[in-house]
Amino acid sequence: MMNMLTSWFEHPRLRGGVHAEEHKLDTANKPINLGLPLPKRLYIPVQQHVGKAAEPLVKVGDQVLKGQILAYSQGNISAPVHASSSGKIADVLDYPAPHPSALPIRTIVIETDGLDTWQSLHVPDDPFVLTAEEICLRVGAAGVVGLGGAVFPSAVKLDLGRRNQIHTLLINGGECEPYLTCDDRMMQERAEQIVTGIRLMLQGMDAGKAIIGIEDNKPQAYQAMREASAGFDFITVSQVPTRYPMGWDRQMLRYLTGWEIPADGRATDIGVVIHNVSTAYAVYEAVVLGRPLISRVVTVAGSAVANPQNVEVLIGTLLQDLLKFCEFDEQKLSRLVMGGPMMGDALPRRDVPLVKATNGVLALSAQDLPENSVQPCIRCSSCVSACPVGLLPLEMASRIKVNQLEAAVDIGLKDCINCGSCSYVCPSHIPLVQYFKYAAGELFKRQQMEHKSEQTRRLMNDKNERLEKIRLEAEEEARRMAEARAARAREQAAKESVTTQQEGA
């Protein structure tokens, strides 16, 4: 309780959260490394975003140029994918995804030619004369998605913004996950381009102002962004306290403005759109330089790499190539994580590609992962104080333990953002967030099964209705034929009767 009260007195708008060990110094002060050698093969999945997978339009043997579209977006929520380098399409196959399940997904493999030749790019003379719609179209065509981890297609978000009368664009420079510093370095080194991207996003939504929130453990980034936005009085750069999960959009918005996004609603419901700093940079590249999203900056860290750093990596590069570049020691590896240690995914293999969502690759050793044995709950309520959503983690976990998933849903399971703050503070080392992830997975499976049986039920009903219709039509036809036969028989009988009468006369 003390923890919650201290936090509330310090920052009355903050809810929950923890002071997680940062582990950022190893990478935060090194420039972004642009020297990763071009891989011989790039593995580019067609599903790297929220929404429908893109549809491949290349075939094995095709020659492609860097930046060329490989797969078209499908439906309203989707994003295209592009060639990260020039070369030949070596395969279009189902290949393991960078996901804990490692389930295969459709992937286009490019055998690079070493020339890295760009296709011709469509660069506008002055991007600031483009209409809002033109900006959205360019961002969509470039396959830009939310690079803070959400990977929601950015053009769809801008378009939503345009249709929802947005007054504020919030740019999230929180980067609160331990180890990760890619956004920090982006702000330090590419602040002007990020600010240009922000101005274009405002233009793409017809919105009036932007607020950039940066945790106060990134003073150089804060300074660089302030300098880059000087002269644009519609952009405010603000520092926010370093407290995980400050990078959670709702927490940052609440802290900076006091505005609350409705529990079941979206930021657009209150006139706000939220994007990440790296997304703003991708928008700059898409609109000003005409370049699609084919690379991103990734933090590689953890004690199993001797040279932790931020690296600009082509989408489709295998994690094993990136790790090797950072002097990876296989003997030391205990856990490979994509993303941060709090919300990232543990990966079972290293031969999976880096995708648009990958902001970090952590090669963690035993030294990074202290073994703590799980003890019984002492009902200290630290997990409750730490929860930024205001949930009761202990109560949810005890229901999940006895498989009462619906009961856990009743007390807020679906609002859990899996931030792991509760697990982090638990003195009994109870892996609370693992319970929530498990339960969410189970509920999803059940929902899928219900959806399937509902579909089967609907198909059966349709089939029965069709059969019934055929039966009724056949009956009707038989009735009509019987009537026609009877009519013909009556006619024949009448004719015969007339003939008999004539003969008798």
Interface with ligand SF4 (CB under 6 A):
377-383, 386-387, 389, 391, 393-394, 416-422, 425-428, 430, 432-433, 436
Nearer to ligand SF4, 128 or 444 (CB): 444
Burial readout 369-399 (b: 16 or more C-beta within 10 A, e: otherwise): eeeeeeeeeeeeebbbbbbbbebbbbebbeb
Running DSSP on this structure, what letter comes out for residue 360?
E
Q: Which amino acid is at 70?
A: L
Exposure string of 121-148, with b = 16+ CB inside 10 Å and e = fewer, is eeeeeebeebebeebbbbbbbbbbbbbb
> Which residues are within 8 A (CB) of 5 and not within 5 positions of it... i.e. 6 or more apart?
none
Q: How far is the CB of 399 from ligand SF4 (least distance, A)?
A: 13
- Of the pair 186, 433, the CB lying nearest ligand SF4 is at 433
Instruction: List 316's β-bridge partners, or say none.
Output: none
Nearer to ligand SF4, 46 or 419 (CB): 419
d(CA 26, CA 308): 6
Distance in Å, CB of 418 to ligand SF4, minimum: 5
Q: Which two tokens stand for residue 133?
A: 């719609």
Q: State the minimum distance, in angstroms, from the CB of residue 388 to ligand SF4.
A: 6
User: Toward ligand SF4, which CB reaches closer, 30 or 429?
Assistant: 429
**Nearest CB to ligand SF4, comparing residues 348 and 427:** 427
Do 254 and 229 meet the contact criterion of CB atoms below 8 Å apart? no
Q: Does residue 411 sit in helix, strand or coil?
A: coil
In whole angstroms, how close is the CB of 396 to ligand SF4 at the nearest point? 7
* Residue number, 186 or 394, with CB nearest to ligand SF4: 394
Write the DSSP string, 335-357: EEEES-TTT-EEES-S-SB--TT
Can you tell me whether residue 198 is helix, strand or coil? helix
Q: Which is nearer to ligand SF4, 67 or 420 (CB)?
A: 420
Q: How far is the CB of 432 from ligand SF4 (least distance, A)?
A: 6
Q: What is the DSSP string of 201-229?
A: HHHHHT--EEEEEEETT-HHHHHHHHHHH
Number of neighbours of residue 422 by Cβ within 10 angstroms? 30
Nearer to ligand SF4, 294 or 419 (CB): 419
CB of 360 to ligand SF4, least distance (A): 19
147/430 with CB nearer ligand SF4:
430
Closest separation in Å from C-beta 382 to ligand SF4: 4
The least CB distance from residue 384 to ligand SF4, in Å, is 7
Rounded CA-CA distance 390/306 in Å is 40
Which residue from 355, 435, 440 is spatially nearest to 395, judged by alpha carbons? 435
- Of 271 and 412, CB closest to ligand SF4: 412
Closest CA to 198 of 182, 186, 215: 186
Helices 132-141 and 191-205, axial angle in degrees (round to 10) = 120
Instruction: State residue 292 phi and psi, 5-degree precision.
Output: -75, 170
Q: Are strands 168-173 and 272-276 parallel, antiparallel or unpaired?
A: parallel
Considering the complex, state which of residue 380 and residue 409 has its C-beta at the smaller distance from ligand SF4. 380
Shortest approach of ligand SF4 to residue 9 CB, angstroms? 20
What span, in angstroms and rounded, lies between the C-alpha atoms of 430 and 378? 11
Cα dihedral value 497, 502, 503, 504, nearest 10: 90
Task: Say if strands 209-215 and 168-173 run parallel, antiparallel, or are unpaired.
Answer: parallel
Q: How many CB atoms lie within 10 A of CB 193?
A: 19
Q: What whole-number distance in Å separates Cα of residue 64 and Cα of residue 87?
A: 6
CB of 423 to ligand SF4, least distance (A): 7
Name the residue nearer to ligand SF4 (CB basis): 201 or 386: 386
* Cβ closest to ligand SF4, residue 52 vs residue 429: 429
In sign, the C-alpha dihedral spanning 384, 387, 388, 391 is negative
